Structure 1
Amino acid sequence: MKGFIFAILGLCVLSGVTGCGSGGESGAIVRWVSPANDSTFTKGAAIPYEISTQNFNLRIPPSYMHHMSHNVLTRSGDHGDEEIDPTATEGHYHIYLDDAEGSDPHLTQWGTTGAFQLADDISSGTHSLRIELRNNDHLRVGIPGSEAILFFDVE
């Protein structure tokens, strides 16, 4: 009987270590497929891109279904960075230029392809686009792999 109890305890410990049935991180990953890092664009160009995700399904945010379209640069107060949802397995993403974050101007998207429009007055030199996975309530997923940065040059 004592051996049986130890076997059961061992299984409980093992299942806790392997994460079976636990509410751990989703493993959501996003990657830039194109353009290549260090590509060069002109001022005012639309940067065509493609991304891929793993363990994360892209979908239109429910609150946007009737009044939002792709490729719209927005500035919204409901995109805080304080809270995260590391268990998220579906949602959308934001693309930020350079050091922008949270409710700073960003592109909200839910497709794997799109274009990011550069301003005509963007400075020449090296810039970055950061993609950030968000859940359906606009919370950052906030785990390693749920953000990706692309560096590019502007002539």
Structure 2
Amino acid sequence: MNAEEWETPTGFHFFDMADSSAVFVVCPSKTFVVQTERGLGERLQRAQEGRRSKRPLTHELLSDFCAAFDVKVVGVAFSSVRDDVYYAEITLKMKNELGEKLVVVDARPSDALALAFAAHAPVVVLKEMLDRCRDAAPLLRKLRERDPGIKF
């Protein structure tokens, strides 16, 4: 992975709406927004803050499985966008008596972010993908101006 091909997000903002959630991913050159199911914004924010549910949510369960089987979430990469659908990959490191192995798994961006937050793993975004997506920074600014009390 060539470092010049990737950007590291400087922030994430979550906004739950009536029928969906928006995850704003803020990168140095551009902000993009990933739409996901309703309520997931709050769950992602809780994961980013390191807060767990009373009973494990799916990403918490997966994180527990990884820990139980000595699998480490190495990182998450936003790798492409097609028709306003974003794609992410999770890189896992598995260890056993035979050695170590890196595995890359395709994932929904929301699931990938939840696991990255739980594992304190880095998130990167392919610059080529950023070049093809719309800049959502004006929308994020407008949301903040309209309601400064919005919790992001």
TM-score over 0.5 for the pair: no
Q: What TM bracket, shorter-length normalisation? A: under 0.3
The two structures have a TM-score, normalised by structure 2, of 0.24
The two structures have a TM-score, normalised by structure 1, of 0.24
Higher radius of gyration, 1 or 2: 1
Query: Which has the bigger relative contact order, CA under 8 A and spacing at least 6?
Result: 1
Higher relative helix content? 2
